Structure 1
Amino acid sequence: MEWLTWMIILIVIALVIVFAILDGDILLMYAERYGLKPDVLQEKVVWITGASSGLGEYLAYELAAVGCKLVLSARNENELERVKKACIANGKVTESSVMVLPLDVTDYSMHAGAVGKVLQVFERIDVLVNNAGRSQRALFADVDLEVDKALFEVNVFGPIALTREVLPHMIANKSGHIVVTSSITGKFGTPICSSYCATKHAMQGYCNSLRAEVHADNIKVTVVNPGPVKSNILRAAATANVGEVLGPDACASLDMVRMPTERCAHLMAVAIANQSSEVWISTHPVLFYAYLAQYCPWLFDSLLIMGSKKRIQGFKDWKAKRE
């Protein structure tokens, strides 16, 4: 039996090594290698909110490379035009197949008109990617309630309201795909960003319910849970106070190991192509924490509490220097 023992040990070691090099959940990694490629989305009309920077911008590049018809939305029209030009220059799209549609997702009065404009140009909406959102760094006890409300407006109520405007069109066509950029913190809470974590947990609940409701209408719902990604998201992140942002110095002072935005966008495109229900995209140790929180919550909670002291103190020190 000694050979069997050694075989089991070698298999366990091999699994640990394989898991250690993954930057997405196991099913997503399988889909990337053996599943449908993003080019199955060619000619699909994909509407991306928050497309002027970060993950939304790079997802636009991924989809432009396979020839999707794109609708790019955000508040900054000049940045959207920049992204459009890059899509045309480097992708398989033309001027007429990329639509720039300025939109503030928290201005609900704009939603119906925006949907109408997209349908007027492209006649259909195959995929809606609710990517617009905002991060936050603050201690729970310090947060003004108005900050909580503002984060829920942009991260939850805006995407939900826009989805409800698009949904009747998809139901009528018996086809469609709703994609939400959530966060790995939608699976577990972390200190110093309680309001942000709460918004992502809320979106998880909305989407899980919606997925079951629209299944019979042939509409898919995908929740993408990225971990830390290289972007400028912390620059505009909320703090504890209304109207305040972290600013550029936070990116260096409060940063952690982050995956390249291009890689995250590629895996997101894979998830959309394969109509995955939920995916986790992150480097370790955050990906490991997600598995731990999902399958061994008591151990995760213990480790989170043990590791939080240093994180909280580091934030307090940064805050004190800034003040």
Structure 2
Amino acid sequence: MLELVVSGFLLVLLVQVVRLFLSDGDLSLMWYERFGKTPDQLAGKVVWITGASSGIGEALAVELSRAGVKLVLSARREDELRRVKQTCLGTGKVSDSDVLVLPLDSVAFDTHAGCVEQVLAHFGRIDVLVNNSGRGQRSVFWQTSLAGDRHIFELNVLGQVSLTKAVLPHMMERGEGQIMVTSSLSGIIPTPAGSAYSGSKFAVHGFFGALRAELHSYDINILLACPGPVISNAGKNVLVGEPDKTSTLDPTKDPLHSNDMPTARCARLLAVGMANRLDEIWVARHPYLLYPYLRSYLPVPALERRMSKTFAKRRMKIVMQDKKMQ
């Protein structure tokens, strides 16, 4: 009998390992993608996406428009938002009045309450807030100024917190809603040459994890979406040392981004997580998807630390080849 139990356990374990290596998302997310609710279930919902002018935000807007979702598109560049709107109108199941272009600066905190009022005036409600705006980093700790650190934290953390504080009273009054935050696998695994970025994502997990616990008596879901590297033009805007400095390295020729996930695929999986009101999802290709599993579940801490050091050394070797960091 014991042998049967052990054999069954090993078989299940083997199946899960095979599933993991064939996946580009965590195993729970993969299950929901196949057997759970589809993004079409979000049809008619009002979804507000920040950072919607490019990258994951743009791809998510297009994905949701195909499901018939009413959209609020926010970022600083109004012309790019209007371009994204036209794409949604051309490929999605939405009309002109279903897509509101609302320019927003995530660090102009005193404007956020007014933006909420504009959305409510247009749609009458906000079903989902997607805190997606943010900026990456490609500079080591000692070559990043305190101004650079502050810039990343204000944009990646306080911007999300401020807008959430402005939207939350409306959701609490209705007794329902969803807040999705685009975090990162760097919010689970400390990332070399990205101390401020990684720190900001760890902070996001703390802020919104605590908020989830505080909202236990409300039907308001908090979803922490953690993508790994994604094919996106956001890589051209990563901070290098100072807020006004960016990397000149072409992301398409960067060895660190040789196996990035297509942005459309990332957006699809985020939409699945949203439709199924999940708490946290991991979205990445291998080997990046393997790292959070090792960090979270590896029973031998010394082995996990050894593998983390190997990853860190490889990343640092590549990053330091960038002339802007030498």
TM-score (norm 1): 0.94
Cα RMSD of the aligned pairs, angstroms, is: 2.0
Segment of structure 1 superposing worse, 211-220 or 84-93 = 211-220
TM-score (norm 2): 0.93
Partner residue of 2:289? 287
- Aligned counterparts of 2:94 and 2:265: Cα–Cα separation in 1: 21
Q: Deviations along 1:164-223, whole A, 9 cap, x unmatched?
A: 000001111111111100001111102111110000000000111001111212111100
Partner residue of 2:308? 304
1:236–1:247 CA contact under 8 A, matched in 2? no
How far apart are 1:310 and its partner, in Å? Answer: 3.1
For these two proteins, the number of residue pairs brought into alignment is 322
The residue type equivalent to 2:113 in the other structure is A
1:76–1:102 CA contact under 8 A, matched in 2? yes
Partner residue of 2:233? 232
2:249–2:322 CA contact under 8 A, matched in 1? no
The residue type equivalent to 1:157 in the other structure is L
3-state secondary structure, aligned to 2:237: coil
3-state secondary structure, aligned to 1:99: strand
How far apart are 1:97 and its partner, in Å? Answer: 0.5
1:127–1:179 CA contact under 8 A, matched in 2? yes
- Aligned counterparts of 2:275 and 2:190: Cα–Cα separation in 1: 29
Q: Deviations along 1:130-177, whole A, 9 cap, x unmatched?
A: 000100011112110110000001100001000000000111111111
- Aligned counterparts of 1:175 and 1:283: Cα–Cα separation in 2: 33
Q: Does 1:139 align with 2:143?
A: no
Give the 3 Å change call, closer, same or farther, for CA 50–4 of structure 1 in structure 2: closer
The residue type equivalent to 1:309 in the other structure is K
Give the 3 Å change call, closer, same or farther, for CA 94–299 of structure 1 in structure 2: same
Partner residue of 1:44? 45
- 5 Å matches for 1:5-24? 12-24=13-25
3-state secondary structure, aligned to 1:22: coil
Q: Does 1:315 align with 2:316?
A: no
- Aligned counterparts of 1:303 and 1:80: Cα–Cα separation in 2: 42
- Aligned counterparts of 1:248 and 1:312: Cα–Cα separation in 2: 15
Q: Does 1:33 align with 2:34?
A: yes
- 2:263 pairs, out of 261, 264, 268, with 261
1:192–1:312 CA contact under 8 A, matched in 2? yes
Partner residue of 1:127? 128
- Aligned counterparts of 1:188 and 1:220: Cα–Cα separation in 2: 24
Q: Deviations along 1:221-277, whole A, 9 cap, x unmatched?
A: 100000111111210000112310113525423423111111110000000000001
Q: Give ranges in structure 2 of 5+ residues lacking alignment.
A: none
2:46–2:126 CA contact under 8 A, matched in 1? yes
Partner residue of 1:182? 183
1:136–1:193 CA contact under 8 A, matched in 2? yes
How far apart are 1:301 and its partner, in Å? Answer: 2.0
Q: Does 1:99 align with 2:103?
A: no
Percent identical: 44
Give the 3 Å change call, closer, same or farther, for CA 7–70 of structure 1 in structure 2: closer
- Aligned counterparts of 1:8 and 1:216: Cα–Cα separation in 2: 37
- 5 Å matches for 1:165-244? 165-244=166-245
Give the 3 Å change call, closer, same or farther, for CA 144–77 of structure 1 in structure 2: same
Partner residue of 2:274? 272
